[in-house]
Structure 1
Amino acid sequence: MSRVCELTGKGPITGNNVSHANNRTRRRFLPNLNDVTLMSETLGRTVKLRISAAALRTVDHRGGLDGFMAKARESELSARALKIKKEIEKSLTAA
């Protein structure tokens, strides 16, 4: 399982551990990923995703999964999230 947020594309970045003697060793900064179940009002069902804590706050701020997907860039979304976005758009145009 990769350490990448399915909604924002946020992944590991690299940096340095710096000791008191200013010795530098490489390290990885991992995103704070959580397995969450989000409700889609348009689809009428829940969706399980692995997203970062920052993305979860953004989903809440934009009014839920449907609001987030409406504004999300397709280049940042994972394949599963892109499929969900297409389902939501299709459901909105049919209704």
Structure 2
Amino acid sequence: MSRVCELSGTKANNGMAVSHSHIRTKKLQQANLQKRRIWWEQGNRWLNLRVSTRTLKTIQKKGLGAYAKSQGIDLNKL
């Protein structure tokens, strides 16, 4: 399973690790994904999702239904 957020689509970022002597090596910055069981009010059921912590924070603020609607995601398919 790839490390991609199921709601926002957040995935790994390529970057550089820079040492004290300024030697650059490639580094992969993974998304901070968490498995969470989130209550969906409109569907009246629980959803098991693998989401990033940034997405969780937004869901707590807006609500799962409103966030999915803004992203154009149909929660019935999950």
Q: TM-score, normalised by structure 1?
A: 0.75
- What is the Cα deviation at residue 73 of structure 1? 3.3
Deviation for aligned residue 1:27:
0.6
One-letter amino acid of the counterpart of residue 26, structure 1:
K
Unaligned residue ranges in structure 2 (runs of 5+): none
Indicate the percent of aligned positions where both proteins have the same amino acid: 32
* Structure 2 residue 40 is matched with structure 1 residue 26: no
User: Match for residue 72 of structure 1?
Assistant: 71
Aligned to 1:11: 11
* Aligned counterpart, 1:40: 40
Q: Secondary structure at the match of 2:35?
A: strand
Would you say how many aligned residue pairs link Structure 1 and Structure 2? 77
* C-alpha distance in 2 between matches for 1:24 and 1:70: 41
| Partner AA of 1:71 in structure 2 | S
Flag the structure with larger Rg.
1
**Cα deviation, residue 43, structure 1:** 1.1
Alpha-carbon deviations, 1:19-55, whole Å to 9, x = none? 1111010010001000001111111110000000000
Between Structure 1 and Structure 2, the one with more helix by share is: 1
Q: TM-score, normalised by structure 2?
A: 0.90
- Separation in 1, partners of 2:69, 2:60: 13
Structure-to-structure mapping, 1:52-71, within 5 angstroms: 52-62=52-62, 64-71=63-70
Report the AA paired with residue 52 of structure 2: S
